[in-house]
Amino acid sequence: MNGSLLALLSAFFFAASMICTRRGVVRITDPALGGYISVFIAPPLFLLAAAVASDLQSITTFTWKEYAYLVLAGIIHFVLGRSSSYWSMKYLGANMASIFVAVNPVYTILLGVFILGERMTGNAVLGTALIVIGPALLFWPEQKGIPQVPDHRYKPRLSRKGIIAALFTGICYGISPLFIKWGLLQGGSALAGTFISYTGASLVLSSTLINHDRREAVINMEGRAITWFALSGFLVGLAQLCRYLALKLSPISIAGPLTATIPIFLLLLSFMINRSMESFRLTVILGAILVVIGTVIVY
């Protein structure tokens, strides 16, 4: 299987996981609690996958720097990024949140220019402009779009908290691929690398359960919410595995834009499954298309 197909599969599984996450976050007060379920479920799955693939020995073959990079990627992506993404989906809905999160290539470009001394190309300027215009469209007055019968209990709306959470998520998601690439630079196993990143994230989250109130909140979470978060964790685990493999087999310039098709897959899946809980106004659809086109141009 080549890196391009894996990147597309990653985008599909990410979108599917967001469908489940949206179902879960509307059922609890603190959506970040869902991150415990979705992250904790991943290490055993990847350990089992490594055993089936006869790849367990690869977990111990990384250098200390590669371990550090992979653990740091896990903390940034699975702890900080995922927690803030759950908050953004609670307030904005998955469709709008994904558009704000998709601004993450802009952060990568700025990081390259101001820290690594890279030059801005014409494609980077054009792509960045389109990526920024995508979320900006969401601030336009209400426009007609795909007909739907909304469930007003879960009506998504633009809010300051949701936007900030989504933009912060984009920062985390924009930084983590660099650490993944560095962690797998010497040819380490992508399956083992995914396990290491998830394990590092799980240890950090476990340490926060020392707090009694936090621990009780996780234990007493509504059963249906736990089910949705567990399914989301399984799907996002598949997505991350495909993503790590894609980054290992293909350059970021190829894997990046294909993985960035998440908003398109999400619109389609939301329409089929969460139609009453999401926004399908014209500006949301156009915004999703623009951020995907802009990302492809950037890469």
Q: Which residues contact 140 (CB under 8 A, 6 or more apart)?
A: 283
CA torsion sign for 156, 158, 162, 166 is positive
Instruction: Quote the pLDDT of residue 281.
Output: 86
Q: What's the start-to-end Cα distance of the chain, in Å?
A: 22
Q: CA-to-CA distance for 227 and 100, rounded, in angstroms?
A: 27
A 10 A CB-CB count for 148 gives 15
Instruction: Quote the pLDDT of residue 147.
Output: 57
- Nearest residue to 134 (alpha-carbon basis) of 267, 254, 248: 267
In the DSSP assignment, the letter for residue 160 is H
Overall residue count recorded for the chain in this entry = 299
A 10 A CB-CB count for 39 gives 25
Instruction: Quote the pLDDT of residue 86.
Output: 94
Instruction: Quote the pLDDT of residue 230.
Output: 93
The partner residues of 255 in beta bridges, in order of sequence, read none
Token duo for residue 151 = 């469930």
In the DSSP assignment, the letter for residue 221 is -
Instruction: Quote the pLDDT of residue 148.
Output: 57
Token duo for residue 241 = 């595995």
Instruction: Quote the pLDDT of residue 153.
Output: 61
Residue pLDDT tens, the chain, 299 long: 677 888 899 999 999 999 999 999 999 989 989 999 999 998 988 888 888 778 888 888 899 999 999 999 999 999 999 999 999 999 999 999 999 998 877 877 777 677 666 677 788 889 889 999 999 998 886 655 555 555 556 677 788 899 999 999 988 988 887 788 788 877 778 888 889 999 999 999 999 999 999 999 998 998 899 999 999 999 988 887 787 778 777 776 677 778 888 899 999 999 999 888 888 888 999 999 999 999 888 77
Cβ atoms of 287 and 135 closer than 8 Å: yes
- The CA radius of gyration of the chain, in Å to the nearest whole number, is 18
Tell me phi and psi for residue 65, to 5 degrees.
Answer: -65, -40
Cβ atoms of 245 and 3 closer than 8 Å: yes
pTM: 0.84
Tell me phi and psi for residue 189, to 5 degrees.
Answer: -65, 130
In the DSSP assignment, the letter for residue 281 is B
| Cα–Cα distance list, 178 to 7, 81, 185, 205, 252 (Å) | 16, 15, 10, 22, 9
Q: CA-to-CA distance for 145 and 15, rounded, in angstroms?
A: 21
| Cα–Cα distance list, 165 to 101, 103, 230, 248 (Å) | 9, 12, 22, 29
